[in-house]
Chain A
């Protein structure tokens, strides 16, 4: 691929092409997270989880990524159900959760190997991407235990939604080719975030949340 001189210079001076792509992806997904938060009111497990997940999905492919996410969440719920009856400290609880998740994923991969389920290439998925998805369990379990099941599922839905949007953007070749050759887009993203941060209007979610207030004001009039 032909690069602009500036990009070429960076690649030749210690930043491998893949690493550069990754850093650009982080900037793009981070901006998508703030867009979703400020304009739509989408709750997620912070900013790190959707970034990690979007990049993991870009390595696994969306289908495999979502399947692993489902196994991780079901595994976390199952281990929570088993462990909540046992009196123990939080950290040990989370450690056991990870052990159980490893077992669940190994089992899942063996089952997929035998049955298929349309996920025949599961064994070719990069293991580091798998581990990144497993990290979601920590965010999910923490919120599930500390807050409520509803808030944790809401945040999970938001995280996966943003990660999917992020995956879509960063896996489009024309977008990644354009961004890698137009690195001035990074300062532009910084500027965009400054603007997003100044947005004072209602989030899309607020319109649904406060619908009854508006309805009541209409009735009064």
Chain B
């Protein structure tokens, strides 16, 4: 493939403007996206949540009569028609007994400082074309705990690009110390690609501030400036399907054919729409290491029946690369919660016996040592082992761990006499404590052959239950549940 044709999958600014924004985003729809107050009104019709507005300041006269005592301790000031996050100030708390509020970096702004900032907003300093503007004082979204741990103080948001009723690509923007708690990529926030099928994060980038050119990114794997930096790939974004559904609803109600929807996950209210973007940037391609152009062309002529159909299309067309991607980034394999595995036959003697047996395994981080059902153990060559253990007439249950340990201490020699029994383990099954044999098996999980230790248990819906000891090297994709 020539270098030129490789670039054919990428969407550039020229094509974005000519083929997608101009024909599919009518001026009336752009006006909605460019006006935050109008956006809130339009989205409210579809019951889509947006941050609650505390105050709207339309002129300097209104500014004089603000009741500062009625404001909560934390809030956000935004210009109604601002662009690129300019003019947005977040306040985290209030100084006791003073009219002074605290910003994410610890800076204090007094009432007079805030008044000056609002006056600048009203004068149009942050608005498109420097037009006179309105200042919005609104609720500060409190990030859901899962995403909060990756973010430096601010609110991470999720950008979903939709076209023709189909979610095309998504990323999350995570505030950093460098970005002063904002999710603005140009200020140094991290952007992380999201697999559209699973809602699992893939690659991460940060703009290279040392580069003389703007829009130059550097690959990163972890958060940058937290006390304990965390791996950014493999995060399962909560309420993923709801996020996609909300993004498509936003597209429908705004009538923007090509749209970028910014959604935050509020700890109390769930997905909450920050803003609609009629000219979403192209950096999302870098975060996902995938081109937008071929995806857009793929859905251009598709007749999408409804939102659910759009989501299904996106998942089947553009999803599924996450496993490969995460493996590349983190060096860890991805397994589904309900995985087909191959167990190698123990002590294979007859030629007729199969070399390995296929079985269903459940990935269970709730148990430490993996488990294997007795019937399956018999099939893979442990018949003599289970027969021997059952012949010992070990009590079926013990009342406490201590009682089970005492039994093991007394009967250890007999319990481990059979050659395959490595040791015996105390396991908790419901309210009962049981003593069961432990054996070594060779198993193939997600293409990888491993020697693992398993406890043979009496019965189970699954042939194998893979515990934490083995799962250390894996990422579990919980999106594929038992039904599919």
Chain B binds chain A:
yes
Chain B, residue nearest A43 (CB): B214
Residues in chain A near residue B113, CB distance under 8 A: 87
Residues in chain A near residue B123, CB distance under 8 A: 89-91
- Whether A212 contacts B7 in the complex (CB less than 8 A), given A148-B187, A206-B12, A219-B328, comes out as no
Contacting pair A147 B15 (CB below 8 A): no
* Interface bits A168-209 vs B (CB < 8 Å: 1, else 0): 000000000000000000000000000000111111011111
* Interface bits A47-91 vs B (CB < 8 Å: 1, else 0): 000000000000000000000000000000000000000011111
Q: How far is the CB of A60 from chain B (nearest CB, A)?
A: 26
Q: How far is the CB of A81 from chain B (nearest CB, A)?
A: 18
Q: Does B116 contact A (CB under 8 A)?
A: yes
Q: Does A117 contact B (CB under 8 A)?
A: no
Q: CA A134 – CA B291 in complex, angstroms?
A: 42
Q: How far is the CB of A216 from chain B (nearest CB, A)?
A: 4
Residues in chain B near residue A207, CB distance under 8 A: 7
Q: Does B425 contact A (CB under 8 A)?
A: no
Q: CA A149 – CA B3 in complex, angstroms?
A: 34
Residues in chain B near residue A89, CB distance under 8 A: 116, 119-120, 123
Contacting pair A150 B125 (CB below 8 A): no
Contacting pair A200 B19 (CB below 8 A): yes
- Binding stretch for chain A, among B38-46, B92-100, B215-223, B393-401: B215-223
Q: Count chain A CB atoms within 10 A of each CB in B113, B213, B216 and give the residue with the most.
A: B213
**A90 contact from B9, B18, B125, B291, Cβ within 8 A:** B125
**B10 contact from A145, A150, A206, A218, Cβ within 8 A:** A206
- Whether A209 contacts B119 in the complex (CB less than 8 A), given A147-B186, A203-B14, A217-B289, comes out as no
**A200 contact from B18, B209, B213, Cβ within 8 A:** B18
- Whether A202 contacts B12 in the complex (CB less than 8 A), given A89-B116, A212-B219, A217-B6, comes out as yes
Chain B, residue nearest A200 (CB): B15
Q: Does B290 contact A (CB under 8 A)?
A: yes
Name A123-178 residues within 8 Å CB distance of B: 145-148, 150-151, 154
Contacting pair A212 B217 (CB below 8 A): yes
**A205 contact from B10, B215, B286, Cβ within 8 A:** B215
- Whether A214 contacts B7 in the complex (CB less than 8 A), given A147-B186, A148-B187, A203-B12, comes out as yes
Contacting pair B126 A209 (CB below 8 A): no
Q: Does A38 contact B (CB under 8 A)?
A: yes
Q: Does A13 contact B (CB under 8 A)?
A: no
**A87 contact from B87, B112, B290, Cβ within 8 A:** B112
Q: How far is the CB of B38 from chain A (nearest CB, A)?
A: 22
Residues in chain A near residue B119, CB distance under 8 A: 89
Q: How far is the CB of B385 from chain A (nearest CB, A)?
A: 44
Q: Interface extent on B, as a size class?
A: 35 or more
Q: How far is the CB of A72 from chain B (nearest CB, A)?
A: 21
Q: How far is the CB of B209 from chain A (nearest CB, A)?
A: 7
Q: CA A198 – CA B84 in complex, angstroms?
A: 26
**B13 contact from A206, A208, A214, A218, Cβ within 8 A:** A206
Chain B, residue nearest A150 (CB): B214
Contacting pair A218 B125 (CB below 8 A): no
Q: Does A23 contact B (CB under 8 A)?
A: no
- Whether A150 contacts B209 in the complex (CB less than 8 A), given A91-B123, A213-B290, A219-B328, comes out as yes
Residues in chain A near residue B10, CB distance under 8 A: 202, 206, 210, 213-214
Q: Count chain A CB atoms within 10 A of each CB in B6, B15, B214 and give the residue with the most.
A: B214
Chain B, residue nearest A41 (CB): B13
Chain A, residue nearest B1 (CB): A221
Contacting pair A210 B7 (CB below 8 A): yes
Q: CA A214 – CA B9 in complex, angstroms?
A: 9
Q: CA A212 – CA B113 in complex, angstroms?
A: 43
Residues in chain A near residue B116, CB distance under 8 A: 87-89
Q: CA A145 – CA B6 in complex, angstroms?
A: 39
Contacting pair B84 A154 (CB below 8 A): no
Q: How far is the CB of B347 from chain A (nearest CB, A)?
A: 41
Residues in chain A near residue B87, CB distance under 8 A: 146
Q: How far is the CB of B265 from chain A (nearest CB, A)?
A: 27
Q: Does B239 contact A (CB under 8 A)?
A: no
Q: How far is the CB of A91 from chain B (nearest CB, A)?
A: 7
Q: Does A220 contact B (CB under 8 A)?
A: yes
Q: CA A200 – CA B11 in complex, angstroms?
A: 9
Q: Does B297 contact A (CB under 8 A)?
A: no
**B7 contact from A200, A202, A220, Cβ within 8 A:** A202
Contacting pair B18 A218 (CB below 8 A): no
Contacting pair A216 B289 (CB below 8 A): yes
Chain B, residue nearest A148 (CB): B186
Name B198-253 residues within 8 Å CB distance of A: 203, 205, 209, 213-217, 219
- Whether A147 contacts B84 in the complex (CB less than 8 A), given A209-B216, A212-B289, comes out as yes
* Interface bits A3-43 vs B (CB < 8 Å: 1, else 0): 00000000000000000000000000000000000100101
Contacting pair A202 B216 (CB below 8 A): no
- Whether A213 contacts B12 in the complex (CB less than 8 A), given A147-B86, A207-B7, comes out as no
Q: Does B324 contact A (CB under 8 A)?
A: yes
Residues in chain A near residue B86, CB distance under 8 A: 146-147
Q: How far is the CB of B213 from chain A (nearest CB, A)?
A: 7
Residues in chain A near residue B216, CB distance under 8 A: 208-209
- Whether A213 contacts B285 in the complex (CB less than 8 A), given A91-B123, A150-B209, comes out as yes
- Whether A217 contacts B328 in the complex (CB less than 8 A), given A146-B126, A198-B18, comes out as no
Write 30 A-B pairs (CB below 8 A) sorted by A numbering.
Answer: A43-B214, A87-B112, A87-B113, A89-B116, A89-B119, A89-B120, A90-B125, A91-B123, A145-B125, A146-B126, A147-B186, A148-B187, A150-B214, A154-B214, A199-B14, A201-B15, A202-B7, A202-B12, A203-B14, A205-B215, A207-B7, A209-B282, A212-B219, A213-B289, A213-B290, A214-B7, A216-B290, A217-B6, A217-B9, A217-B291
Known pairs A43-B214, A147-B86 / 8 extra A-B pairs, C-beta < 8 Å: A90-B120, A147-B84, A151-B186, A205-B213, A206-B7, A210-B286, A218-B6, A219-B328
